[in-house]
Structure 1
Amino acid sequence: MYKKALFLLCLLPIQILVAQTGALKNFPDGSTPDEIGKRLASRFVKSKHLLHANKWIGYPETCSWNGALKFATITKDKRLTQMLKEKFEPLFTTDNRILPAMTHVDQNMFGSLPLEFYRITKEKRYKELGMPYADTQWEIPENATIKQKGWADKGYTWQTRLWIDDMYMITIVQTQAYKVTKDKKYLDRTAKEMVMYLDELQRPNGLFYHAPDVPYYWGRGNGWVAAGMAELLQCLPKKHKDRPRILQGFRTMMESLKRYRNPEGLWNQLIDQPDCWTETSGSAMFTFAFIKGVKNGWLDAKEYAPVARKAWIALVRYINDENDVKEVCIGTNKKNDKQYYYDRPRRTGDFHGQAPYLWCAAALLE
């Protein structure tokens, strides 16, 4: 009798967590992750390439492709997976000219996509295409600048630039390389990089400046940070030396974001400015991080699951009948000018917004 009672007592924390994370299930019709994921993934399959500088596939498209692929895998949608493979196939042959060059942090992250395909298909050619994007991020080129060499000498990627976007771009390709190879070096170096960025850019309120010389809390920039930390924490072993620092940074950020929500339950283009407009891409990235945090036990489910639920339902309202996400800030370089962020044009259907919606749908179904 005593052993049975002890066993039931041990189960109690698990039962409480399951009950609390119930807020991330049973969504109203029209806002279920199955419906939204299917709508946006199907939209992506039909979309044309959006080339960066008319040269190569840009990172927003890569992020959307990854999201659609993860959604297809989680839902075991073989037809969708096949269509995504067929969309990729020309990149091995006739369209290989639009593969990104391995010369910039935003371009190297493309490697995360073929590595995800490799994890699903086990076809060696995907791994052979993807791994150089991870490896060259730490292989300093002969024509590197003095500053780039300086970063490399300290054990960081030569592509370091201290923009908060990098905390996702670097992380996603390095963690994928780890998942494929199980080589701990990929985790160690991206964790080291993440800690440095945290120390340099996170402010006492938990949010991040766009860069050291741009003291504004830009929504999507902070979204890249939140998503990058979530992706890394899911890979880092519990005893990894850098995990406590990264987890602390993640929790501090999530606590702050909970306070800065607007009346919709979403976040503004400049997070701390109440008169700024609701921006969907950053909001979706924050929602993704909250979902991951709750489901992995990094965040208290009772406190944070309702935040994620309210945000997801609010985000769905920004999808139009063509399955395009509205109110997406266009691609944005750093600029030490507050009005610059207020005045950024807004787009509908931009991959910057489509991608994190797909991440959220997949995360809710995991």
Structure 2
Amino acid sequence: MNSTYAYHANKVWQEMIKDHSGEWGMDIHHWDWVPGVGVIAMLEYYEATLNPEVLAFLQEWVKHNSEKAKGTKVINSIAPYAIFPALYRITDDAWFRDEASRVAEWLIKDTPRTREDAFEHTVTENVAFAEQVWADTIFMAVLFLARTASLVGNKIYAEEALKQVLIHLRLLQDEETNVLFHGWNCGSSNHMSAARWTRANAWIAAGIPMIVKEIDQLITIPDELKDRYGRLMSGLLAYQQEDGLWSTVMDQPHFYREVSGSAGIAYGLMKGMELGLIPSLDETAAAVEQVVTSIMPYITEEGIVRGVSGGTPVMPTIQAYQDDISTYPTLYGQGLVLMLFAEVLREGK
């Protein structure tokens, strides 16, 4: 079975590096969160397979696209930097380390924050989300900060990463169901449309174990994080549909199934068990296997991952997530599936 996953993972990766110029969801040659998730996933794929072609692509990608990062710094555009610590360790090129440290300093000292001291969710698009906290920020920026903390042994970076995780969990976690709302508005003190959006949950389900792995040698991981993450993952399993996936808004089972969020949640379940953040139970492993199996029919022979919802701000109503957000191929959809398959391949070794 591993050969099947290896085959599909390679197809998914190959599709990501093709020329999709001008196609917002699949064009990897710019500097933002969409290609950022793509290259983060490619690094996971490289670490699972040690395929030298993947590493060569990542190095070339940075070489050809890093100049595009010199515009306005925003939370979403931090995502590609998350591969820099690993590239420094692999290449011993001090530029990767120095750039990571420079951007980490910006996050610590200059990034806009909400009144609760959370990183405000800022984007490259011409739109502002003043005083808004989104789950996405954990994966797009805090993961990078945690990896840089580990690289340079900086406890201040590690403590900030932990603080941001806890603030986001406290503001976004629904105490009734234990899953996360998409966003929080600090000005109005509410969750806006209060959608339990699946991909928001996936960013944190996948991101927290990746972050903990980086910072737990520098600082103590508090029981609150472990408790909240454990409750989150249990809550997510309660919304898994009979076909193995999650609806785009998870408590709306008649909404369409969303592949990227489902893959991210399954990845988080695997990494959470690996790091001891959640119990290693047979039923959890079976839930992951069901996700992997259910995703396979969504991958075309060319390696395109279907069933991925487009870029999604906090929508004005829950119904709008179903009616107004269409599905199409994206690098983050490809990436989250590639991360899941890479983890399956790594565990199968």
Q: TM-score when scaled to structure 1? A: 0.81
Q: Deviations over 1:114-165 (max 9, x none)?
A: 3332232221122233332222112227xx6xxx4855xx5x5466731121
Tell me the equivalent position of 2:93. 123
1:57 alignment partner, one of 31, 40, 54: 31
Q: Cα–Cα, structure 1 residues 303 and 192, in superposed 2: closer, same or farther, change >3 Å?
A: same
Q: Secondary structure at the match of 2:107?
A: coil
CA displacement at 1:183 relative to structure 2: 1.2
Q: Cα–Cα, structure 1 residues 52 and 274, in superposed 2: closer, same or farther, change >3 Å?
A: closer
Tell me the equivalent position of 2:188. none
Q: Is the 8 A contact 2:202 2:265 kept in 1?
A: yes
CA displacement at 1:253 relative to structure 2: 1.0
Q: Deviations over 1:155-213 (max 9, x none)?
A: x5466731121122232111121232121221111111111111111012111111222
1:353 maps to 2:323: no
Q: Deviations over 1:70-108 (max 9, x none)?
A: 21232121133213322332235xxx1x22635321112
Q: Give the letter aligned to residue 265 of structure 1.
A: G
Q: Cα–Cα, structure 1 residues 126 and 77, in superposed 2: closer, same or farther, change >3 Å?
A: same
Q: Is the 8 A contact 2:150 2:215 kept in 1?
A: no
Q: Secondary structure at the match of 2:133?
A: coil
Tell me the equivalent position of 2:162. 191
2:246 alignment partner, one of 246, 256, 267: 267
Q: Secondary structure at the match of 2:12?
A: helix
Alpha-carbon separation, structure 2, partners of 1:177 and 1:206: 30
1:76 maps to 2:50: yes
Tell me the equivalent position of 1:172. 143
Larger gyration radius, structure 1 or structure 2 = 1
Alpha-carbon separation, structure 2, partners of 1:193 and 1:245: 13
Alpha-carbon separation, structure 1, partners of 2:97 and 2:197: 35
Stretch of structure 1 that moved more, 335-344 or 156-165: 156-165
Alpha-carbon separation, structure 2, partners of 1:74 and 1:241: 28
Q: Deviations over 1:31-81 (max 9, x none)?
A: x2x223222222222244668799952202111112112212321211332
Q: Secondary structure at the match of 1:217?
A: coil
Q: Give the letter aligned to residue 224 of structure 1.
A: W
Q: Cα–Cα, structure 1 residues 208 and 100, in superposed 2: closer, same or farther, change >3 Å?
A: farther
1:110 maps to 2:80: yes
1:304 maps to 2:274: no
Q: TM-score when scaled to structure 2? A: 0.85
1:332 maps to 2:298: no
5+ long unaligned stretches in structure 1: 1-26
1:317 maps to 2:288: no
Q: Give the letter aligned to residue 201 of structure 1.
A: L
Write the mapping of 1:128-147 to structure 2, written as runs, cut at 5 A. 128-140=98-110
Q: Secondary structure at the match of 1:329?
A: coil
Count of residues in Structure 1 that have an aligned counterpart in Structure 2: 326
Stretch of structure 1 that moved more, 44-53 or 278-287: 44-53
2:173 alignment partner, one of 198, 202, 207: 202
1:91 maps to 2:70: no
Q: Is the 8 A contact 2:196 2:249 kept in 1?
A: yes
Q: Cα–Cα, structure 1 residues 315 and 286, in superposed 2: closer, same or farther, change >3 Å?
A: same
Alpha-carbon separation, structure 2, partners of 1:158 and 1:343: 27
Tell me the equivalent position of 2:187. none
Tell me the equivalent position of 2:17. 45
Q: Is the 8 A contact 2:36 2:80 kept in 1?
A: yes
Q: Is the 8 A contact 2:181 2:197 kept in 1?
A: yes
Q: Give the letter aligned to residue 223 of structure 1.
A: A
Alpha-carbon separation, structure 1, partners of 2:60 and 2:30: 18
Q: Give the letter aligned to residue 145 of structure 2.
A: Q
Alpha-carbon separation, structure 2, partners of 1:309 and 1:197: 29
CA displacement at 1:283 relative to structure 2: 0.5
